[in-house]
Structure 1
Amino acid sequence: MYQPKKVAIIGAGPAGLVTAKTLLQNFPPGTFTPVIFEERNEIGGLWPSSRSASTNGQKTSNRESGSAGLVNPQMRTNLSRYTVSFSDLSWESVFDGRYEEVPMFPRAWQVGMYLEKYAERYIPPRVIRLGCKVVETIRLEDGRGWTVFWAVEAERTRQETKSEHFDYLVIASGFFSTPYIPDIPGLSAFSERTVHTSALDTPETINSILSESKTSSGKLLVIGGSMSGAEAASALALHLSSLKHTDSSSTKRLEGYEVHHVCTKPFWTLPTYLPQASLDEPTEDSRLSFLPLDIVLYNLNRRPPGPVEYSFGPLSTELISKMNANFRSILGKDYESCGHVQSNFTHVDKAIDDKPQPTFLAIGNDYAEFIRSKEIAPIIGRVTRINTSLSGSASVDITLPGNKTTTLNDVAAIILATGYKPNTSLSFLPPGVLSELEYDPNDSFLPLILNSKGTTNGNIPDLGFVGFYKGPYWGAMEMQARSLGQAWADAERASGTWFLEAEEREAVRNFRNKDKEHYRGQLPMADYVGFMESFARKLSITSAQPTNSSDRPGIVIPAKYTFHKALPGPGSASSVNGTAKQTEVEATLNSLQTTVNHRNNATSPGLAMAVFRALHGTWKFTRTYYDKTNSQPESNIHGTARFHPRYPSIKEYEKEYLYEETVYEAFQQAPKPAYPSRCIYSLLDPLPRTDGIHIHLWSCEDLNSDNRFSHGLKLSPAQARIQNGERVTGEYTIYANGSKRLDTDRGSPGGVQYKYVFNIKGVAITSWTCKAFHTDPASSESGEGLEVQTSYMR
């Protein structure tokens, strides 16, 4: 009689859940009996299940524990909901089908909610064992399975363990288990003022770091590049800007710090929304959409014709140059000046020694503009020593490209954006198994030699890995789980022929042994598009296609890849592969199509975010006042306008600026009423709506006050910019309108109408204007008269 194959899965985060679901639902009933072991008392891994930063009733404290804890519940994902999802559960289902409430970039607690819904729908409660920490595993000598030992939470103080035999073992406990602390001379002596980014989770945490300093000024040094480094530097810069530009702050003494960021590699920082067309790419019409960056970058049509091949290994000089040219074309030269961090900010694709220098990526809406406004000072180099002074501050020695050196003095605190090591996730494996896997505890890039795209090692066919690499995407985890299930469901292939991919392991080994400085990219398996397409061919997965599609259309998202292969095993396949799953796939694909087709819809959340983000920083302005009777210029003033980012004043808003003006030249005295020199720009929570940006007058800090609100900006879709009757290649214009009703205005009821024009190239606003008109609805005529026009330039 056929016996189900028992599979122990360690970890109940996204990787563990999708593995259990895949074994249960994508194969005939009775093929597998999975069991998930989870140390915590709730599922989700790093993703919290509630809106508050607490677990089991207590606030997590990564700073004290030195471990990777839950992420900030309010943090948004840096990829859209189409990538942060599995193929058979749409975000629309999680939000009860109400499209207007589905976030494009979910918050961390919403991701936790998604995972709870996923487990509720697909995984019986008996499968998940919460509060069970795996402490040891033993592989049987004949290679026929594993004995797993675990401690139940209530019994750990007595060191009592339980054990059970399994046919297979899956490591799904994550790569980000232990913060990596580099061995920098002098760092230990400065440990009291050093924190890892895993503990830099809330404004309160940042405040506590600054409060522990003996001074109210100094340099806050972020060490480490790309994703977490840019995020940490941006969080610090936003905190300091909020302290400076919020009158009610009780911690004004902490505003005298500077943010410096040392990273070893050049990198691009990408906004969360990108134009769907490159600057040099012709478009079919004159409109332009701003779409989530993963929708733009993971488009199959960006790859050469023919089957998409998976790219793995050292990056060539040609590929690096091509990547830089691609980002330059999408983002534009104006943004490149601050969004491409390089040695001395020169436009080069190679290091000084003429070896290929891989370009890394970071994602964030603020980092580049913080650089433009000189609120973050980036340095390409490597920290070589930290020297602590008697005053408690430190000087930091940095080696620059070309073996030049510099010293950064007056460092008040250090934030380590140095990543993680997977030590904890591997601590329960036997030494002999780790040796067979060629485990290198000092290499966080490729700690193990695995084949099948990081899924297994042919010498240990009953051990699998899901999500065990830097930067695992949810679709990649799902593919890995399918790969393991297909291999283990086929008894003949499970004997070893399917796993023995010695050539692939040799490629991984050679990659690990290459020059770490010049040939390693940001992620070992960075080619997500090639990963998904090549895995789909290997597993005979049919890609779901939109209506009227070409042979290789669309964007790579998990919902495109549905499982159709007939699988071996007892009984018949589960009905989840039928109508129910198809409904989820259709919901996601229809939602994606709606998002992509927002070109003619001004309610796209990307449009408001793109405009709001690009306003950050300093502008030179000229304001002209007009005589209402004849619309002739009456007077001019010149000055500087600054948009200072700060924490939103009320929960309704996603982001906020304090707008301030400094007038440095006036040809004539401005007529009354004077144009406001201070106001507040607020970005609403990025759900589809017609007025995504609100402007408030400056009178007090209470934005809820009715007399504070001035007007909202109703944005029109981006259109090709026309100058002197000709279309300007690569440039677009976004028009916006707003209005404010006044009880009295120069003795008559009416209000003010505002008309904005934003000129955009790539992702940067190059110039913009705001015109204010007086309106008199009591008049039988239009009642409009241009009163003020303000023009802004960088």
Structure 2
Amino acid sequence: MSKSVCIVGAGPSGLVAAKTLLHNAPKGHFKVSIFDSQPAIGGLWPTSKTDSGRLVHPLMVANQSRHTVQFSDLAWEDDAPQFPRAWQVGKYLEQYQSRYLNGNPDFELQLKSRVAKAEKRNDGTEGWKIHIQSGDSEEARDFDYLVIASGYFGKPIIPECFQNAKTSVPIIHSSQYRDLKGLLGEGKQKGGKILIVGGQMSGVEIAGTIASHLSSAINSLEQSDITGIDKYSIYHAIQRPIWVFPLYTTPEPTFAAAPFAPLDLGSYNINNRPRPLENTQGHISQEHANMVHTIFESSLGDQEQFSPLMMPNEQERDQPAYLAVSDWYSEFVRSGMITLSFGKVLSLEGDLVTLDDHGAQIDDIAAVVLATGFDPSPCVNFLPKQILETLQHSPRHYSQALALAFHGTHHPEVPNLGFVGFYRSPYWGIMQMHARFIADLWSGQTGSKSEALERKLQTDDSIKRTLNLRDDPRLSQFPMGDYMYLMQEFSEALSIPMHESIMPKTPTTSRNNLPLDTLTPARYPSPSDSPEAKAEAEKSLKQTRDIAVECLTTPRFVARGVFRSLLGTWRLERDLNSRLPSHPSGKFVGTAQFLLRERTSEGLQCVSDPNSIDTCDENGGGEDLEYLYIEDGEFKTSSGFGFKATRRYIWRYDSKKDTISVWFAKPDDQKRADYLFHEIEFEAPPLDDNKKREKGGWAAKAGHLCIDDYYNVKYNFAFKAVNLEKWSIEYTVNGPKKDYTIHGTYERI
């Protein structure tokens, strides 16, 4: 007889739990019902560009690539972006539901239905009576099993000093931010400081996002409807230095011609760690903390170039390292749009904030955005008090709220209760392993598979470990477990072997002369998967293998790395050598600014067809960005005559083509693009000469015919770790009345 299962939550955890119970457990063993309070599946993840009612903005870019944001049994489409937007993740989940759940007679989905209360049945069984609210009605239903898959983001945490603040300044949580107008209104303050509180992942991400929105509004073609938009700035209150990773990092940080790849391809390279893997999270010793800081510094370079507060000192290197992901944050700190303040916020009165850093204060606060995390308690508050006591629920320990066995899956004293994805990290492979663990535990596996699971359970110390970590002053940023280690643990417990290697023997990285062999969920297809599901895993593995090889052997994503790193101000020196007396030789000295803004439509052929706009921007809503380039300085001829000189261009990045293009500005409106100057074409790297790649940057070329004059353009971009350190451009111009060479060098101020 089938056993009934109630799953709370129709996000990725709930959907993968349902699929696994219905497809990977013995056929007919379970009947599954999912209940979710929202009107659509997806949980945090919106399912359309206009679905703005979730905790995640639909246009937010995921901070892990599609090689991590995936289940083993569904590959992304080949043309999907490496870093999908939130609404595209929602579409992936809809596709997952359609493929594995829709039409299954043993599956039920009830949306707009909230699980209000769960209680143990009083008929002597281990089952549950679940009370479900739908609108004004409530019903009670009996189930044999209960799976909590409602995530870890119960409600935003609002620090007490902001709950009681005596102020009219708008205060929102980072999950509520959508745009500047929603935050600032009409800008009655006519400028001021936007305070970001919280220095972990969401604090850095939201500060970088708001800075990019502010830069775009200031440098927009049209006047902003927010009064005094150019008088706003961002202040970020942090309590520790944090290492900020861009979305694309380099597996070769010592190369001036650094290759770029999605950051998790390098982070989860199993060839960088000895096996069997050991858990790197939880309690962090001083020795381990120092080692991680050193690894991060070698990957990212010296962050003191952006701000001294971003670089840990010797004492801070003894403390656990923290990381965040943002393409724009660091350069906006360097440019001054984001100012860092060290200390914990004690109070907000009027528009004045006081920090605990020797009474430091920040005045003229125009708005506050709290990136202070989430309290997971609402995700479990429908459980009986006695059950919560058994689970040793502790509301004040946000990252260790429940003490659960075997890496967050269950508690042995509540045998018919399971957890999937109750894990404060973004790793979809763990959700899938949680679901497989629960399916095996409840379906009564026998034989060697059951023995392997039992051995793991006998040695499991997850509950004790959680309790020990709750007040540990040396707690890691993600204490619930090291992703790669946990995948290994579940692999051994469930007898699901890892696909040993997805890479050919070459190319290799210089670190250890081994391939970039990334761990992904698709490395762990279940033996009980259907042929269709296993084929999806193979497709996904091929995608990861192909992109890894391409990143190491071609200039793929180098344009992205260059474009990101151009933001801000550069010192420019340019020499002009003319071979004709009609054009004087001389030298230009000045600055070049790259001002970030949303892509404009001028000059783009695709906008002539309104229906084609989405095909020009695969990410829907402005992933493709541009810079307004402003150059100012003095040109002095070889004869000693000098005059002020200025230029304007528009630099654009096209994510679909992975190219940078340079456009002339219109003479009568120099914020607008006129017509294409050239596209930058990066040359293939010398794969057999690492010394050349270490010393020489990326060579690139372009060409442009201007009436009768031909511009032959050569570039060189030299990186230091992930950041562009210096670059140069050379024009050779030939025509009926022109014959000169221009060589310009750009270095950071």
TM exceeds 0.5? yes
* Counterpart among 217, 221, 226 of residue 191 in structure 2: 217
Q: Aligned pair 1:145/2:134, yes or no?
A: no
Asked whether the 8 Å contact 1:608–1:693 carries over to 2, the reply is no
Q: Aligned pair 1:307/2:276, yes or no?
A: yes
Partner SS, residue 560 of structure 2: helix
Mapped to 1, the partners of 2:596 and 2:20 lie a distance apart of 44
Mapped to 2, the partners of 1:12 and 1:616 lie a distance apart of 40
Corresponding residue number in structure 2 for 1:405: 359
Shift of residue 703, structure 1, vs aligned partner: 9.3
Asked whether the 8 Å contact 1:222–1:261 carries over to 2, the reply is yes
Asked whether the 8 Å contact 1:451–1:501 carries over to 2, the reply is no
Corresponding residue number in structure 2 for 1:337: 304
Mapped to 2, the partners of 1:703 and 1:754 lie a distance apart of 24
* Counterpart among 669, 672, 676 of residue 709 in structure 1: 676
Q: 1:553 to 1:718 in 2, by over 3 A?
A: closer
Corresponding residue number in structure 1 for 2:511: none
Asked whether the 8 Å contact 2:633–2:644 carries over to 1, the reply is no
Partner SS, residue 460 of structure 1: coil
Mapped to 2, the partners of 1:196 and 1:358 lie a distance apart of 26
Corresponding residue number in structure 1 for 2:575: 624
Corresponding residue number in structure 2 for 1:105: 83
Partner SS, residue 161 of structure 1: strand
Shift of residue 486, structure 1, vs aligned partner: 1.0
Structure 2 counterpart of 1:81, one-letter code: R
Asked whether the 8 Å contact 2:243–2:322 carries over to 1, the reply is yes
Q: Aligned pair 1:594/2:546, yes or no?
A: yes
Q: Aligned pair 1:395/2:352, yes or no?
A: yes
Q: 1:700 to 1:116 in 2, by over 3 A?
A: farther
Shift of residue 189, structure 1, vs aligned partner: 2.4
Shift of residue 786, structure 1, vs aligned partner: 4.3
The more displaced of 629-638 and 506-515 is 629-638
Q: Aligned pair 1:258/2:242, yes or no?
A: no
Shift of residue 525, structure 1, vs aligned partner: 2.4
Asked whether the 8 Å contact 2:258–2:719 carries over to 1, the reply is no
Tell me the alpha carbon deviations over residues 745-785 of structure 1, each in whole angstroms, 9 at most, x when there is no partner: xxxx2432221111112111111111112245xx9xxx995
Shift of residue 717, structure 1, vs aligned partner: 3.9
Partner SS, residue 166 of structure 2: helix
Q: 1:784 to 1:557 in 2, by over 3 A?
A: farther
Corresponding residue number in structure 2 for 1:535: 490
Mapped to 2, the partners of 1:613 and 1:772 lie a distance apart of 23
Mapped to 2, the partners of 1:488 and 1:6 lie a distance apart of 11
Corresponding residue number in structure 2 for 1:637: 588
Corresponding residue number in structure 2 for 1:182: 159
Tell me the alpha carbon deviations over residues 196-241 of structure 1, each in whole angstroms, 9 at most, x when there is no partner: 111112x3xx223223553212211100112111122112222222
Q: 1:672 to 1:80 in 2, by over 3 A?
A: farther
Q: 1:469 to 1:599 in 2, by over 3 A?
A: closer
Partner SS, residue 367 of structure 2: strand
Mapped to 1, the partners of 2:747 and 2:262 lie a distance apart of 27
Q: 1:508 to 1:789 in 2, by over 3 A?
A: same
Asked whether the 8 Å contact 1:225–1:265 carries over to 2, the reply is yes
Corresponding residue number in structure 2 for 1:774: 733
Mapped to 1, the partners of 2:515 and 2:746 lie a distance apart of 44
Asked whether the 8 Å contact 2:257–2:693 carries over to 1, the reply is no
Shift of residue 387, structure 1, vs aligned partner: 2.0
Mapped to 1, the partners of 2:671 and 2:524 lie a distance apart of 46
Give me the CA root mean square deviation: 3.2
Partner SS, residue 330 of structure 1: helix
* Counterpart among 718, 731, 749 of residue 759 in structure 1: 718
Corresponding residue number in structure 1 for 2:215: 241
Asked whether the 8 Å contact 1:312–1:527 carries over to 2, the reply is yes
Residues matched between the structures, number: 712
Corresponding residue number in structure 2 for 1:687: 656
Mapped to 1, the partners of 2:744 and 2:172 lie a distance apart of 45
Shift of residue 633, structure 1, vs aligned partner: 8.5
The TM-score with structure 2 as length reference comes to: 0.88
The more displaced of 238-247 and 255-264 is 238-247
Corresponding residue number in structure 2 for 1:129: 110
Partner SS, residue 461 of structure 2: helix
Mapped to 2, the partners of 1:9 and 1:528 lie a distance apart of 24
Mapped to 2, the partners of 1:317 and 1:483 lie a distance apart of 34
Q: Aligned pair 1:735/2:708, yes or no?
A: no
Q: 1:497 to 1:530 in 2, by over 3 A?
A: closer
Asked whether the 8 Å contact 1:620–1:793 carries over to 2, the reply is yes
Corresponding residue number in structure 1 for 2:146: 169
Mapped to 1, the partners of 2:10 and 2:392 lie a distance apart of 26
Mapped to 2, the partners of 1:502 and 1:583 lie a distance apart of 33
Asked whether the 8 Å contact 2:635–2:645 carries over to 1, the reply is no
Shift of residue 613, structure 1, vs aligned partner: 0.8
Shift of residue 187, structure 1, vs aligned partner: 4.3
Q: Aligned pair 1:370/2:332, yes or no?
A: yes
Counterparts in 2 of 1:545-624, with a 5 A limit?
A: 545-546=501-502, 554-564=517-527, 577-599=529-551, 602=554, 604=556, 606-624=557-575
The TM-score with structure 1 as length reference comes to: 0.83
Asked whether the 8 Å contact 1:169–1:462 carries over to 2, the reply is yes
Mapped to 1, the partners of 2:734 and 2:644 lie a distance apart of 17
Structure 2 unaligned regions, length at least 5: 507-513, 602-612, 617-621
Asked whether the 8 Å contact 2:282–2:478 carries over to 1, the reply is no
Tell me the alpha carbon deviations over residues 302-339 of structure 1, each in whole angstroms, 9 at most, x when there is no partner: 112x3112344211111111111111111223xx2246
Q: 1:717 to 1:673 in 2, by over 3 A?
A: farther
Corresponding residue number in structure 2 for 1:485: 439
Structure 2 counterpart of 1:562, one-letter code: P
Shift of residue 692, structure 1, vs aligned partner: 3.7
Structure 2 counterpart of 1:414, one-letter code: V
Corresponding residue number in structure 1 for 2:181: 207
Counterparts in 2 of 1:459-474, with a 5 A limit?
A: 459-474=413-428
Q: Aligned pair 1:82/2:39, yes or no?
A: no
Corresponding residue number in structure 1 for 2:405: 451
Mapped to 1, the partners of 2:643 and 2:672 lie a distance apart of 24
Tell me the alpha carbon deviations over residues 344-403 of structure 1, each in whole angstroms, 9 at most, x when there is no partner: 45542534xx9x422211101100111111111112321112222xxxxx2111123xxx
Asked whether the 8 Å contact 1:237–1:376 carries over to 2, the reply is yes
Q: Aligned pair 1:385/2:342, yes or no?
A: no
Structure 1 unaligned regions, length at least 5: 55-59, 61-68, 93-98, 281-285, 389-393, 565-572
Mapped to 2, the partners of 1:644 and 1:468 lie a distance apart of 41
Mapped to 1, the partners of 2:502 and 2:46 lie a distance apart of 34
Shift of residue 497, structure 1, vs aligned partner: 9.6
Corresponding residue number in structure 2 for 1:63: none
Q: 1:316 to 1:114 in 2, by over 3 A?
A: same
Mapped to 1, the partners of 2:640 and 2:164 lie a distance apart of 57
Partner SS, residue 593 of structure 2: strand
Partner SS, residue 646 of structure 1: strand
Shift of residue 560, structure 1, vs aligned partner: 0.4
Corresponding residue number in structure 1 for 2:313: 348
Corresponding residue number in structure 2 for 1:793: 747
Partner SS, residue 570 of structure 2: strand
Q: 1:542 to 1:720 in 2, by over 3 A?
A: closer
Q: Identity of paired residues, percent?
A: 31
Shift of residue 681, structure 1, vs aligned partner: 1.0
Asked whether the 8 Å contact 2:194–2:232 carries over to 1, the reply is yes
Structure 2 counterpart of 1:533, one-letter code: Q
Structure 2 counterpart of 1:74, one-letter code: L
Corresponding residue number in structure 1 for 2:259: 289
Q: Aligned pair 1:228/2:196, yes or no?
A: no
Partner SS, residue 127 of structure 1: strand
Partner SS, residue 7 of structure 2: strand
